[in-house]
Amino acid sequence: MTYSYISHLYCPKCSKTYCTSETHHLCTCGSPLLVNYDLEALSVSWTKESLKERSPDLWRYHELLPLQDPSHRVTLGEGMTPLLSLPVLGDDMNIGRLDMKDEGVIPTGSFKARGAAVGVSKARELGVRELAMPTNGNAGAAWSLYAARASIIPTIVMPVDAPKITRNECAVSGARLFLVNGLISDAGRIISQAVKDPDIYDVSTLKEPYRIEGKKTMGLEIAEQTGWKLPDVILYPTGGGVGLIGIYKAIRELQQLGWVEDGRMPRLVAVQSEGCAPIVKAWEEGRTESDFWENSETMAFGINVPKAIGDFLVLDAVYKSNGCAVAVSESSILEEQQRAAQMEGTFVCPEGAASFSAARKLRRENWIKDGEHVVVLNTGAGIKYPDTVNLDIPVLQPGDVLEKKV
């Protein structure tokens, strides 16, 4: 049995192809590379029924993943997160059917675990011993922990302002961790110097082609969890945009396999904060690439990316799916985070809350139509960001008596 139907790497800009038996980063033209599969052969040999026997993690889709030998698999049990119905919050937004894909319950507490599981596994298969990346926190945390499990040494550089818990995750797993007094783009410049050392494998966003394959599994799972019908709209908090590119790629591959109806594509929404909205600006101007966003700032740290290397792929997925790009205010992020917790008992991360805020806005503008099925990605656990909640809690003395609430 063939474990993976990977065939080659290709450049989405200039169509140049590369083999998968050695490490590759960007194309010679500067574009990220994407993974191609032999979908024709796979469509003959693979059935939906075969999934019934498989474990509830992302490796159930191994034919559509790049790892060729399962013995290199590095897993913490990631994937098959709940697609949770949110009827009360949906009612409050006047959305007919609102579901949340909850990535808060995945190992390392964010969906970055998906990219790390597949990326680190493939790195191990390619013989990598050391890797390095810039991060806004969650990716560094996930890659550090998975690298530890694979006995690969990670070097991580993150902004001093990145969520503190993500530092701890890197440090506790023994990563070489550095903080930079600046943004992820500054961390990126430091890493690009470091990886001139040929022994260090550069795993910066989209500079290695396999992270996106891991994130793609969110799209595969949404398809399977909706009985291969798919929702009308998917909202995704967009930083580097890897998840959105991945979801689009997943659904295209399922169309080609004949597992979802040809032409069936949810409208993909790239959600950003008003404090960092380069993709939204480019989309509003009808452009295919974005400009660097100066002085970016948002509490939704995972989407504080002033210029994404895969911006043209994100915008392409948004245009081709008839989707849109939306910026939301910082105060609306906090409001939605509270509403989700109070109405549905789910403590979402600020990035996820941003997507709820965008859903409310798009329904109000009637871009989301009456009765449509909407899926929001909650990309991480609220408990990773304890400082976003404003606390004003009364302190009692032993023996105090509580007054009855009026």
Residues that bind Zn ion (CB under 5 A): 11, 13-14, 16, 27, 29, 31
Question: What pairing do the DSSP bridges indicate for beta strands 130-134 and 200-202?
Answer: parallel
Choose the one of Zn ion, ligand PLP, none that binds residue 27, judging by a C-beta under 5 to 8 angstroms depending on kind: Zn ion
Q: Residue 150, exposed/middle/buried by CB under 10 A (0-12, 13-18, 19+)?
A: buried
Query: Min. distance of Cβ 52 from ligand PLP in angstroms?
Result: 30
Q: What token pair was written down for 42?
A: 């796979």
Choose the one of ligand PLP, Zn ion, none that binds residue 351, judging by a C-beta under 5 to 8 angstroms depending on kind: ligand PLP
**Which residue, 29 or 160, is less far from Zn ion as judged by CB?**
29
Cα-based distances in Å from 229 to 17, 192, 218, 262, 372: 33, 42, 15, 11, 13
Binding site for ligand PLP (CB under 6 A): 110, 112, 138-139, 237-243, 302-303, 349, 351, 379-380
Contact 276, 303 (CB under 8 A): yes
Choose the one of Zn ion, ligand PLP, none that binds residue 304, judging by a C-beta under 5 to 8 angstroms depending on kind: none
**Which residue, 31 or 296, is less far from Zn ion as judged by CB?**
31
Query: Min. distance of Cβ 56 from ligand PLP in angstroms?
Result: 22
Query: Min. distance of Cβ 387 from ligand PLP in angstroms?
Result: 15
Q: What token pair was written down for 108?
A: 């390392």
Choose the one of ligand PLP, Zn ion, none that binds residue 11, judging by a C-beta under 5 to 8 angstroms depending on kind: Zn ion
Tell me the DSSP string of 294-360. Answer: TT---S-GGG--SS-TTHHHHHHHHHHTT-EEEEE-HHHHHHHHHHHHHHH---B-HHHHHHHHHHH
Query: Min. distance of Cβ 30 from ligand PLP in angstroms?
Result: 19
Contact 230, 266 (CB under 8 A): yes
Greatest Cα-to-Cα distance within the chain, rounded to the nearest angstrom = 75
Query: Min. distance of Cβ 276 from ligand PLP in angstroms?
Result: 11
Query: Min. distance of Cβ 110 from ligand PLP in angstroms?
Result: 5
Question: What pairing do the DSSP bridges indicate for beta strands 373-378 and 97-102?
Answer: parallel
Choose the one of ligand PLP, Zn ion, none that binds residue 239, judging by a C-beta under 5 to 8 angstroms depending on kind: ligand PLP
Choose the one of ligand PLP, Zn ion, none that binds residue 310, judging by a C-beta under 5 to 8 angstroms depending on kind: none
